[in-house]
Each structure stands twice: as C-alpha cells, then as structure tokens.
Amino acid sequence: MKKFALPAVILALCCGALVSVVAQDAPKTAAAPAAAAPAVAPAAAASAAEPKDEICFEGRKGATEITKRELKPGWPNVKCSPVTGAALWYGDPYDGTKPMGKVPLLEKIPAGMAVMKPRSDKLNLLAQCGTACHNGVYPKGYPKDNKPVPIPTMVAMLPELQNFSHGRGAIWCLDCHHPVKRNMLVDHQGGEISIDDPQLLCGKCHGDKLRDWRDGIHGKRIGDFTSTGKKRWFSCTECHNPHDVQHGERNKGFAALQPETPPQLPLGMKDASHEKRHPIAH
C-alpha cells in the first residue's frame, strides 16, 4: 500500500493545482465577451435612446413654434399638449421675444413691457425673394394693374394662393406686400411695415379688430397680468393665415383647434361649482 500512497498524493496535488489554474482562467474567458459587448452596445444604445426635440405650436400650426428645453432642472420653458401639440403653459413666457413695434394708441406702455416673438427668421423664403427676383426692380412681365392674377411660381411656393380668399377677390398681393421689397409689408401711403409687426398692416382694413386687439378682448396674451406687468402679445398672423383666412368652405377667421380634456380637480374636490361664484358680491 505504501508504494501506491506517494503517487496518489502527487496525483492529488497535481489535480488540485490544475483545478485552481482552470478556475482562475475561467472567469477571464467568460468575462471576455461581456467586456467586448459594451464596445458595440453604446453606439446602438445611443442612437436608440437619443431624445428627439419636442416642438409645440403656439397660435396655429405652421406659425410660431417653440422647442421644449429645461430652463433649470425640472423646470421646462414650455409644456406641450400630448393631444394637440399646442403649448399649454410656459416656464418663461418671454423666451425669444423682442419689444413690440410702435402701435397707435399704445404709446403709453413703458418700453420693453409689451413684447412679441419675431417671425421673420421663420419665413425662409423672404431672403430668397428679396434677392432672386424682387431685388428693387419690377421683374419682367409684371402686371400693369392691381387685378389679382395667378402666378405659377408663387403658387408653387405657397399652395394656399391657388384659391386665394382674402378679401374675396377685392385685393391682391401688393395691397399687403411692398412692391419692390418683398421682405416688408406696406401701408396705405406706400411706407414699409416690418414683417414682425403685421398688426400695423391688418389694421389698415380691420380697424375694429385692431381696436379690440389693443384693448385685450381679441387675440392672446401671456405673462404678467397686473395692470403694469410685462406681457407677450401675439400678432395677427400667429393665429390667422392671411393667405387663406376664410379657411375654405368654413368661412372662418382661423381653423378650429381640437379641444383639450378638462384638467383634473384637486384631490378631495367633488366638482367645480366654486367657479360659478363671483368673488365680488354684486
């Protein structure tokens, strides 16, 4: 038995050493695929998880839009409706605005307390129109009178001009647009009006609406609603499309918006009957 004991001990020691080596190497071999996997995964994960900009419209689709971003952690600049894509409320109602141009009878508003969002940078055709064809001279074939005529080039760029309905045929392009400066609007005396101040143009014909807009009973405003607070005013073309203002057969001033569901009542409140009571007895 003794002659078998020594070889058995040596064999046991060798097996133990072999198992130890295999045990040490096994995790490295198994870990290799796991270590290699992240080299491919981040690229795929990054593209899959890359957040898309959330953009919602304000007055009407296709006019002013706002991209959602965080002003500070947990405080967005705007909340977009998941139903319609419209802006519901603002973290900063003055984001991207500039002081409103001069408007008759609003001269008493302190400078900078009435602001608007410029739209000229959104109208990407303006720069092209002002340099390609309408560069200060009348192009060849220019109409000799003020009767509306179909212009294929314009209709191709702005399809709504195919059935131009503003004024029911009584007006044409140059009643609103400057004859040689297409990046400007025009008043009754031929003076220039900034594309960012369309209320001065619309007031030429719609004086009653301009009056109501000035008085705050037409249009939209957001911001500080105290009497001397800073407010953002929405211009006419932010809610109305001047090229299709009747909106086809509906003959309305602007397209109807899809209604939102009413907000949830606070916890413990059964109904909204409190809204029927006027805060001031009369």
Residues 6+ apart with CB under 8 A from 140: none
| pLDDT of residue 138 exceeding 80 | no
Give the CA angle between residues 175, 180, 185 to the nearest 5°.
45
Model pLDDT for residues 197-249, shown as the tens digit of each residue: 999 999 999 999 999 999 989 988 999 988 889 999 999 988 888 887 765 55
| pLDDT of residue 146 exceeding 90 | no
Q: Which of 158, 162, 194 is nearest to 177 (CA)?
A: 194
Give the CA angle between residues 150, 243, 89 to the nearest 5°.
160
Place of tokens 């220039």: 192
- Report how far residue 176's alpha carbon sits from residue 66's, in angstroms, rounded to the nearest whole number: 27
Q: Which of 50, 62, 55 is nearest to 238 (CA)?
A: 62
Place of tokens 């064809």: 133
What tokens does 251 get?
């003959």
Q: CA 65 → CA 77, 98, 117, 229, distances in Å?
A: 13, 16, 10, 24
Average pLDDT of span 129-147: 68
Specify the pLDDT at position 149. Answer: 67
Average pLDDT of span 132-136: 67
| Residue 220 neighbours by CB distance under 10 Å | 14
Specify the pLDDT at position 77. Answer: 92
**19 — pLDDT class (breaks 50, 70, 90):** very low
Specify the pLDDT at position 180. Answer: 79
Average pLDDT of span 88-103: 91
Model pLDDT for residues 45-71, shown as the tens digit of each residue: 555 566 688 899 888 777 788 899 999
- Of 10-14, 72-76, 155-159, 232-236, the poorest mean pLDDT is in 10-14
3-state secondary structure of 181: strand
Model pLDDT for residues 166-188, shown as the tens digit of each residue: 887 788 888 898 887 878 899 99
Taking all residues of the chain, what is their mean pLDDT, rounded to a whole number? 76
With residue 233 as reference, give the H or E element that holds it: strand 231-233
The amino acid sitting at 212 is D
Q: Give the distance between the most distant pair of CA atoms in the chain.
A: 127
3-state secondary structure of 184: strand
SS3 content of the chain, % helix, strand, coil (to 5): 35, 15, 50
Specify the pLDDT at position 155. Answer: 76
| Residue 149 neighbours by CB distance under 10 Å | 11
Instruction: Name the β-bridge partners of 61.
Output: none
Specify the pLDDT at position 99. Answer: 94
| pLDDT of residue 250 exceeding 70 | no
50 in Cβ contact with 244 (< 8 Å):
no
- Of 103-107, 150-154, 225-229, the poorest mean pLDDT is in 150-154
